[in-house]
Amino acid sequence: MNTHKIAVIAGDGIGPEVIAEGIRVLDEAARLDGGFRFEFTHFPWGCEYYRETGRMMAENGIETLSAFDAIFLGAVGAPGVPDHISLWDLLLVIRKSFDQYINLRPVKLLRGAPCPLKGVEIRDVDMTFVRENTEGEYAGSGSWLFKGKENEVVIQDGVFSRKGCERVIRYAYELAKAQGKTLTSISKANALNYSMVFWDQIFEEVGREYPEVKTYSYLVDAASMFMIKDPARFEIVVTSNLFGDILTDLGAAIAGGMGLAAGANLNPERKFPSMFEPIHGSAPDIVGMKKSNPLATVWSASQMLDFFGHEDWGKILIECIEEVLVEKKVLTPDLGGNANTTEVADEIIRKMREYKR
């Protein structure tokens, strides 16, 4: 039997709530299929662990994780622990150590999902963001000089390597070519006169290898405006780490909210484990109330199934999410319902069983 070994880092806040449901859904897919199984190993890493040990993960955490086929992560961050410590020492170190240089984030309006934009059809919001995920504005390079003095200076470098830009841009071209879609690059070369000029140059250079792909190039400010005014312009989108972070929360807002926004951190070469996580955070404002929406996590689980070659199941999960959204009977409060986290997952599982009958 084909066994997928998954490291689970449920993390903080609503992370454990949504991940528990994601695991039930994955197990159910395996049970109904009969041809593969999951083996989940839980790691208690996160802000609680930090308070007890002074570390966000075990000292040999990265080495431990490297033995798994994938990582399933909930959310990281809790009041009382500085965010730059909790995130850098867990989430970001995993993305970088495992060279997960592709952050694949669907911004797709599913059937039944609420959209705050006027006059928009579901086919108008159907994008895939390919976000650079290991360098750029998140390189972690910089300095803090004369701390606390009058002449205090901080420097945060953006690091754009040729290899780093080429590989993410090439991945996006390949995706656009395979799906017969347009490719849009989002940058900011008018103001960022080194990094983004370089990005645009590489977008053009790599593009010469893909004459069949129709391309567009937007400045990030204009792109934000068009995502609201005319989202149908965007199909496959490639952008830098920080711009991709911001634009995918904007994307979540037009595609049903944070409770529906999924993401995959991929090491396409499969030399290291890839990581699947909802893009939302630990939501301290609703923690412990069982109000968190598990559907973003279920969508990330669908991305995991795709990644393992079970695309049939990946697709079934999306269709089950759509049915639950269309029926509007069992939804969490963020989507206007009054069901709790587990009830929504129960409903997904019920739909999966109907599918299989």
- Residue numbers at the binding site for ligand IPM (CB under 6 A): 87, 91-92, 245, 279
Q: Which residue has the tokens 């999902």?
A: 113
86 close to 47: Cβ distance less than 8 angstroms: yes
Nearest approach in angstroms of CB 36 to ligand NAD is: 27
Indicate whether 10 belongs to the interface with ligand NAD (CB under 6 A).
no
Binding map of ligand NAD across residues 316-345, x = CB under 6 A, - = no contact: ----------------x-x-----------
Q: Is 188 a catalytic residue?
A: yes
Indicate whether 245 belongs to the interface with Mn ion (CB under 5 A).
yes
Distance CA 64, CA 75 (A): 19
- Residue 46 or 136 having the CB closest to ligand NAD: 46
Using left for φ > 0, alpha for ψ between -120 and 50, and beta otherwise, residue 182 falls in: beta
Instruction: Choose the catalytic residue: 221, 230, 315, 328.
Output: 221
Strands 274-278 and 102-108 turn out to be unpaired
- Residue 245 or 334 having the CB closest to Mn ion: 245
Distance CA 342, CA 70 (A): 24
Q: Which of ligand NAD, ligand IPM, Mn ion, none does residue 59 bind to, with CB < 5 to 8 Å depending on kind? A: none
Instruction: Mark the segment that binds ligand NAD (CB under 6 A) among 121-129, 131-139, 156-164, 289-297.
Output: 289-297
Strands of the sheet with 126-132, listed across from one edge: 36-42, 2-11, 70-75, 274-278, 262-266, 102-108, 126-132, 236-239, 183-187, 215-219
- Residue 133 or 185 having the CB closest to ligand IPM: 133
- Residue 87 or 189 having the CB closest to ligand IPM: 87
Q: Six-digit token pair at 185?
A: 């690059």
Q: How many residues bind Mn ion (CB under 5 A)?
A: 1
Nearest approach in angstroms of CB 245 to ligand IPM is: 4
70 close to 41: Cβ distance less than 8 angstroms: no
Please compute Rg for the chain using Cα positions: 20
Q: Is 126 a catalytic residue?
A: no
Q: Six-digit token pair at 176?
A: 């656009």
Query: Strands, DSSP E only, in 242-306?
Result: 262-266, 274-278
Strands 102-108 and 262-266 turn out to be antiparallel
> Which of residues 9, 130, 223, 283 is near ligand NAD by CB under 6 A?
283
Which residues are within 8 A (CB) of 53 and not within 5 positions of it... i.e. 6 or more apart?
A: none
Question: Residues 254 to 273: which contact ligand NAD by CB under 6 A?
Answer: 258-259
Q: Is 171 a catalytic residue?
A: no
For residue 280, give the amino acid letter.
Answer: H
Q: Can you give the binding site for ligand NAD, defined by CB under 6 A?
A: 14, 18, 75-77, 83, 87, 91, 258-259, 277, 280-286, 292-293, 296, 332, 334
Active centre residues (catalytic): 138, 188, 221, 245, 249
